[in-house]
A = this chain, B = another copy of it.
Amino acid sequence: MTTEPAVTTRRPGDELTERAGELDRADPLAGLRSRFLLPEGVVYLDGNSLGALPAAVPPALADAVHRQWGGDLIRSWNDNGWWQAPLRVGDAIGRLIGAAAGQTVAGDSTSVQLFNALTAATRLRPGRPLLLTDPAHFPTDQYVADSVARLTGLEVHRLPLADLPGFLAARGDQVAVAGYSPVDYRTGELSDMAATTDAARRSGALMLWDLCHAAGALPVRLDALGVDLAVGCGYKYLSGGPGAPAYLYVARRHHADFDHPLTGWNGHAEPFAASSDYTPAEGVGRARIGTPPILSMLALEAALTAFDGVDLDEVRAKSLSLTGFLLDCADRELDGLGFTAATPREPARRGSQVALRHPDAYALVQALAAHGVIGDMRAPDLLRFGVNALYTSHGDVLTAVRQLRAVVLAGEHRQERFRRRGEVT
């Protein structure tokens, strides 16, 4: 972490400064920032990769460690509700993604949940030879789709999301399941979940959404849209901590036939009967796998209380205000400095991040970090700035853009120390 002061956002008479102040003063969600423990002197715009630390987490985790594990020991599985945690946390996530209770289970990683869900999907739609995914999808979604297809004898068809409705209309009867993300993890482009889900439904194919970049950032209405399956991680906009448990949503109409390959004992109808044969539990509980990482699970549960009483429509409105303001700031402050916006201008097509293209993206992100402005980059040339309406301010956004301008004007991104690639970018 740097000790250099960030560039001030206060320039007398400056219109952007005034506007940031006005927007922040009028922000109905401004008070939520106190629900997070943000480090001093840092502008954090990477909550789309790892959400900031919610203030509710440290005491909850200390209690989980000292009183529950240390004191109550094995009895905590009953007495402190550990056994029910995957379903309880699943329902808490469900409330943020438009899923009525009893359809969401928390646990494992997104990759594992994807594998389980896609394989089960092929069994829900036997005789259909195609598994569709996006050639621009996050890598793990593509790798897992390939792996499931290999095991089940299906064929993966990589099709851009924009072409999906047309394909489903023409050949949808051959499609078992389509696995897509409503938000492009690189550009931040948001697509029309309703139209795509509807196209899948009409063709009889199952629709699986990966909500990693959507949940907690904008209203998602899984039940209302008739989505079949969804997965997502707990550590981006949900701020559940590094590698926080993921989740799986299975629409209630599929529970009885949800026949998944990761048949761990936690999903058994009678997990303590020690039967040699797997009989799945009723409901989404059958999608539980092995014993979940309780400390990470309880951290996620505490983190989700940052959403208590929060209206996701207000989150969405503020998120759009933040990303819109970021694009405006970039227009004004970065003009002629080699940047182009990769994120669409239209609000309806924006997720909760802004991506800027620049050939020196890697070095720029490193140089920015040295000034306490944290974004990230995706190869080859994207700078990503995620906003989380629960803790990001318009002032943060303006500071980040002005710091980026200062870095470029000073040529800092040409310094060797910022051009060396670390292990993780």
A21 interface contact, C-beta 8 A: no
Q: Are A115 and B296 in contact (CB under 8 A)?
A: no
Query: Chain B contacts of A140 at CB under 8 A?
Result: 263-265, 290
Which residues of B lie under 8 Å from residue A224 when comparing CB positions?
Answer: none
Q: Is the CB of B293 within 8 A of A78?
A: no
Q: Say if the beta carbon of A214 comes within 8 Å of chain B.
A: no
A73: which B residues are within 8 A, CB to CB?
A: 39, 42, 44, 46, 50, 52, 374
Which listed segment binds B: A124-132, A239-247, A395-403?
Answer: A239-247
- Beyond A138-B265, A243-B297, is A66–B58 a contact (Cβ under 8 Å)? yes
- B261 & A151 in contact (Cβ 8 Å cutoff): yes
Q: Which residues of chain B come closer than 8 Å to A293, judged between CB atoms?
A: 241-245, 293, 295-297
Interface string of A216-255 (1 = CB under 8 A from B): 0000000000000000010100000111111000000000
Q: Does A268 contact B (CB under 8 A)?
A: yes
Counted per complex, copies of this chain come to 2
Closest to A136 in B: B276
Residues 7-51 (chain A) with a chain B CB within 8 angstroms: 37, 39, 42, 44, 46, 49-50
A contact residues vs B (CB 8 Å cutoff): 1, 37, 39, 42, 44, 46, 49-50, 52-53, 57-58, 61-62, 65-66, 68-78, 82-83, 108-112, 115, 119, 135, 138-140, 142-144, 146-148, 150-152, 158, 186, 233, 235, 241-246, 261-266, 268, 271-278, 289-297, 299, 369, 374, 376, 378-379, 422-425
